[in-house]
Amino acid sequence: MTRFLAITRTEMLILRRNRWLLMATLIMVLFALALTFAGSAPTGTLGVDMLTVSVASMTTLSVYLAPLLALMIAFDAIAGDVDRGSLSLLLSYPAGRGEILLGKFAAHLAALAFAMTIGFGTAGAVAAWFGGAGPESLMALARLILTSILLGAVFLALGYLLSALARGATAAAGLSAGLWLVFVVLYDLGLLGAVVMDEGGTFTQSVFPWVMVANPADAFRLWNIAATEGVAMASGMTGAAQALPVWAAPASLLIWPILGFALARAAFRRVEP
Amino acid sequence: MTDKALSITQVSKDRGKTRVLDEITLSLAPGQRVALLGHNGAGKSTLIKSILGLTPIHDGTIRIGVAAPGSAQARRETAYLPEAVSFHPALTGREQLTLFAQLSGSKVDVPCLLDRVGLSDALDRRIGTYSKGMRQRLGLAQVLLGQPKVALLDEPTSGLDPISRQDLYAIIDELAGQGTAVLIASHALTEVEARTDRIAIMRKGRMVADDTLTNLSALAGLPIRLKVRASANPEALAAELGGKRINGASIEMLCTPDDKMEALRRIAGMGDAVADVEMTPPKLEDLYRHYAQEEMQ
């Protein structure tokens, strides 16, 4: 336990020292604030409070930003140590590989959680102050923050996986960019293409929602949208959410971090520094 | 077996089709200092990583005391200094060493330890600002954590200036003094010469020599070099002693260790004709060349 904590503490120190924590928090605050003010126009037409609209906008933002920020920390976690030649030294100490990976994961996740909470929290507070908030929209904000942290956890784990598989930190960074593109952009484009080709056939009716929810980024979107009627209205994405049982999106988003971490752990076991 | 700090028996390892370690056998008693020499790619680093359990071996056994490589006990009892080690540039020396101390469960005084390797001024500076030699010293400091049974130092002198090298060997002696078996993989032959109890030489994954310097010299039968400077007539001197002219005033002759005294007596017997005699016993470098290149000729 002390070893796990020692790794976590050191990783936190690194994130603070190289200003990653500051930059990530700043990015989150700025984007969330910008979206809250830019997206406040439809409040009147939809008849929901400003915080609800703000959460809908920030959900879309988080789909892109949470994976990106997570991958930005994770890609260096193993490959960077290999490059520096310090991994062999670290592994010659009594800490196990799982312990090392878990220690890094805890620190990185805490940093992400901090950036998310401050970023979305600030924007939410501003939206509530100017445009009002209700218990339902506050719940939506809390859900957004929690699911964003979960989404970050997924991509932290996947980032470690790539970091263990790649030869060197530069290659890991490249792979991470590719992974981000596939999960966040190309996957949806592919699905969209398939739905258009299918013209409302069986694929669109029964397969499509499941394929969609299998992607953690889409599961994140669906969870946030399905849970709040107002958010669903503001984002205009009710159709896909209604076709799935309520547990589908949360299950996907909860299974992915565990699956990703198990894969990363298995890949790390095979790394020969 | 258990009286050995480190025992390596008939260890082989293949990487693809090449045999990178070929039936290596080597053992270190507690407190022994052994130099592991060899060209780049001879298998020194691979052997060290096998001892640490970082890379699998395909045949033979390695034991640290009684523990298998990579086991929790073995990792507690080994200290390691990787070749050209580097650390995260954002951490300070104190933070990095504190991490290692916590990982090893040692309750050591970190500033005191950094002072021991001459880094007390750089204690709270980022490692990113350290010179190569300072990083090497930091690496050395973590070797001193706890009381390891075995210390494995991979090229510990690389990047160190001569004074630091003296410090390094003082630290190695200190380690050996407290009963740690020290294995030093090195290129810096001349320093290793005086500072180790035994010398092991690897070539292409095989152990070609493993003995004390004196025994290795005797075994190799390398000649002692005598350089004799004539006071007036070097030709006459060369004719008399049977040596080879090497410059205007000197001749060089080679003799075996057994003939050494005889040769010296003859030189002394020539009186004023000889101005100076210089005797060079075979150096480790000659020995190294002899053993490491034996089969290349």
Q: How far apart are CA B241 and CA B274, in angstroms?
A: 11
Q: Mean pLDDT throughout B78-94?
A: 91
Does the structure show a pLDDT above 80 at A185?
Answer: yes
Tell me the average pLDDT across B48-64.
Answer: 93
Asked if the Cβ–Cβ distance from B103 to A3 is below 8 Å, we say yes
Using DSSP bridges, classify how beta strands B244-245 and B250-255 pair: parallel, antiparallel or unpaired. antiparallel
A264 or B220, higher pLDDT: A264
- pLDDT digit string, tens, across residues B175-189: 999 999 999 998 766
**Orientation angle between helical segments B93-104 and A2-17, nearest 10 degrees:** 160
Q: Does A94 touch chain B (CB under 8 A)?
A: yes
The residue in chain A having the minimum alpha-carbon distance to the alpha carbon of residue B91 is A14
Q: Please tell me the predicted confidence (pLDDT) of residue B97.
A: 94
Query: Confidence band (pLDDT; 50, 70, 90) for B1?
Result: very low
Q: Which residues of B touch A92 (CB under 8 A)?
A: 52, 54, 75, 78-80
Condensed to tens digits (0 to 9), the pLDDT of residues A130-159 reads 877 788 888 999 999 999 999 999 999 999
Put simply, the answer to whether A92 touches B142 (Cβ < 8 Å) is: no
Per-residue pLDDT at A49: 76
Q: Considering only alpha carbons, which residue of chain B is nearest residue A4?
A: B103
**Inter-chain CB proximity B103 and A18 less than 8 Å:** no
Closest-CA distance, A70 to chain B, in angstroms, reads: 19
pLDDT score, position A158: 97
Query: B24: Cβ–Cβ under 8 A, 6 or more apart, which residues?
Result: B8, B10, B11, B12, B43, B47, B60, B202, B205, B206, B207
Per-residue pLDDT, A101:
96
Domain boundaries B6-218, CATH class: alpha beta
Q: Are B223 and B253 in contact (CB under 8 A)?
A: no
Mention every residue, 6+ apart, whose C-beta is less than 8 A from residue A232.
Answer: A225, A226, A238, A241
Q: Is B72 part of the contact surface with chain A (CB cutoff 8 Å)? A: yes
Number of residues written out for chain B? 297
Asked if B52 and A88 come within 8 Å (Cβ–Cβ), the reply is yes
How far apart are the C-alpha atoms of B81 and A82, rounded to whole Å?
Answer: 15
More confident residue, A84 or A175: A175
Query: Which of the four pLDDT bands, split at 50, 70 and 90, describes residue A44?
Result: low
ipTM for the complex? 0.86
A95 touches chain B (CB under 8 A): yes
Whether A88 sits inside 8 A of B49 (CB atoms) is yes
Instruction: Specify the pTM.
Output: 0.86
Contact of B16 with chain A, judged by CB distance below 8 Å, is answered with no
Any A CB within 8 A of B100 CB: yes
What is the distance between the alpha carbons of residues B53 and B15, in angstroms, rounded to a whole number?
16
Tell me, what's the pLDDT at A186? 94
Helix crossing, A76-84 with A50-74: angle to 10°? Answer: 30
- Please give the pLDDT value at position B81: 93
Residues 6+ away with beta carbon under 8 Å from A250:
A219, A223
**Per-residue pLDDT for A58 more than 80?**
yes
Domain that holds residue A135: 2-269
Summarised one tens digit per residue, pLDDT across range B138-179 is 998 999 988 899 999 998 887 788 778 888 888 899 999 999
Specify whether the CB–CB gap between A163 and A76 falls below 8 A.
yes
- C-alpha dihedral sign at A96, A100, A103, A109: negative
> Residue ranges of the domains in chain B?
6-218, 223-281
pLDDT at residue A200 tops 80 = no
Query: Which of the two residues, B257 and A224, has the higher pLDDT score?
Result: A224
Q: Indicate the SS3 state at residue A56.
A: helix
Token digits of residue B194: 């005086």
Partnered with residue B30 across adjacent β-strands are none
Which chain B residues touch A95 with a CB distance below 8 Å?
A: 103
Number of domains observed in the structure of chain A: 1
- Whether residue A23 lies within 8 A of chain B, CB to CB, comes out as no
Closest chain A residue to B74, measured at CA: A94
Smallest CA–CA distance, residue B130 to chain A, in Å, is: 14
Q: Name the range with the highest mean pLDDT among A203-217, B18-32, B241-255, B261-275.
A: B18-32
What is the distance between the alpha carbons of residues A162 and A171, in angstroms, rounded to a whole number?
A: 9
Cβ separation of B105 and A2 shorter than 8 Å?
yes
What CATH code would you report for B223-281? Answer: 3.30.70
* Ramachandran bin of B70, using left for φ above 0, alpha for ψ from -120 to 50, beta for the remaining angles: left
Mean pLDDT of B288-293: 78
Looking at every residue in chain B, the average pLDDT score rounds to 86
Mutate which of B47, B48, B99 to test chain A, going by most A C-beta atoms within 10 A?
B99
The pLDDT, as a whole number, for residue A161 is 97
CB contact set of A84 (below 8 Å; sequence gap of 6+): B86, B87, B88
CB of A270 less than 8 A from some CB of B: no
Strands B181-186 and B150-154, bridge-based pairing: parallel
Residue B80 has pLDDT above 90, yes or no: yes
Q: Residue A21's pLDDT is what?
A: 93
Residue B54 forms contact with A (CB below 8 Å): yes
Instruction: Tell me if A88 and B87 make a contact (CB, 8 A cut-off).
Output: no
Which two three-digit tokens encode residue A40? Answer: 């406040």
